Amino acid sequence: MTLNVAIAGASGYAGGEILRLLLNHPAYISGDLTIGALTGGSNAGQSLGDLMPHLPQLRDRRLVDTNKDTLAGHDVVFLGLPHGFSAEIAQQLGPDTIVIDCAADFRLKNKADWEKFYGSEHAGTWAYGIPEMPGHREQIKNTNRVAVPGCFPTGATLAALPAVAKQLVEPTLNVVSITGVSGAGKKASVAMLGAETMGNAKAYNTAGKHRHTPEITQNLAEVTDKQVSVSFTPVLAPMPRGILTTITAPLISDEDPHAIYAEFYKDEPFVHVLPVGEQPQTKNVVGSNSVHIQVEANPDAGVLLVTSAIDNLTKGTAGAAVQCMNLTVGYHETAGLPLTGLAP
C-alpha cells in the first residue's frame, strides 16, 4: 500500500525540513510514499520552487489553502502550523488519518499550564513524540495522533532524563539553551533581522516566562516521584540552526554519571553519549536527527553538569515528526533520518 502524505504549513521552516527528509526517505524513493497536498496560509498559490529552491524535486508544486478539503483523504498529515491552529484542523480529519502536530496544541497535560502560557482553551493531550522517553515509543506506535515536542524540551529532556530517572541529582534544574534564529520560525520580525542578530547574543523570555518551561517540567516529572523544578533561560545566538543546552543540578550520587548515561541510551540510535572529555557542538549535529550528550560531576561545586546539542529543525522538530511517522506506520524508526551531521 502506498502512503499518501500531506504537509500543512509546508512553506515554513518545519514544513520545509519535513519535505527535505521525506524526499530522501527510502519509502519515497521506492514509490511506497507519495507527497500529496502542500498547504500554506498567506503563501497559498505560490510555487514551491520560488519559496524553497533547495527542494528541486517539488519545484513545480503550488501551495494550496489549508483546510479540511485539501487535507482530507491522506494517510498522514503533518501540521506545521502556528500554535492554536492545529486543534481546529485536527478535529476535522477522520480518526483513521495519522495526524502529527509540530505545534504545541496537544503537548501539555495540565489545562492550567496551557492557559497560563498560551492564553487560550486547552485542546487536549496526545501521545508525546519523544520515543526515547520511557514508554513513549509504544504509545506512539499505537496511536493516530502525535504531538511533536518543542525543540528546547527535546534537548533539555534527553540531557536531563537519565540524571533524574536514576536519582543522580535533586530535580532542581538550571537549564540554559543557546539557539539559532530559525527557532523563531519563518516570519517577518525586526528582532530576527540580520542587522539585529549578527554579532549579538541575548537572553529572552527569562525567569520562567518561556512556554517550553512547563513542557520540560512535565517530561521529567514522569520519571521521578520528587517535585521537579526547572529554571529555563533561552539565549538567541547568531547562527541559523542548532541548540546547545547546559543543565546543572544538585549532585546527590557518587556513581559514575557517564557510565549511567551510556547504559541508559545504549540502544538509542539517535542519542550519542560522547567520550569523556569531548563536548557537544552544534556544528556536529546540523542536518542530523542525532543528539550529542556529555555528562560530568563537579563535586567541588556539588553539581552535575550535562550538555547536549541538537539541530532544532531536525531532531528538534521535523526529524522528530518523521521519526514518529515511521513508528506509527510501521517503517523502521530510523528510515529517512540522517544519523550524521554536516562538516565543515
Q: What is the DSSP string of 26-44?
A: HHHHHTSEEEEEEEESTTT
For the chain, list the strands marked E by DSSP: 3-8, 33-40, 64-65, 76-79, 98-101, 127-128, 145-147, 172-179, 202-203, 229-236, 243-250, 271-273, 291-298, 303-310
Distance CA 297, CA 84 (A): 41
In the residue annotation, 324 being an active-site residue is answered as no
Angle between helices 13-23 and 319-329 (to 10 degrees): 50
The residue annotated as part of the active site, out of 6, 33, 35, 151, is 151
Environment class of residue 189 by beta-carbon count within 10 Å: exposed (0-12), middle (13-18) or buried (19+)?
Answer: exposed
Nearest to 141 by CA among 331, 270, 289: 331
**What are the residue numbers of the active site?**
151
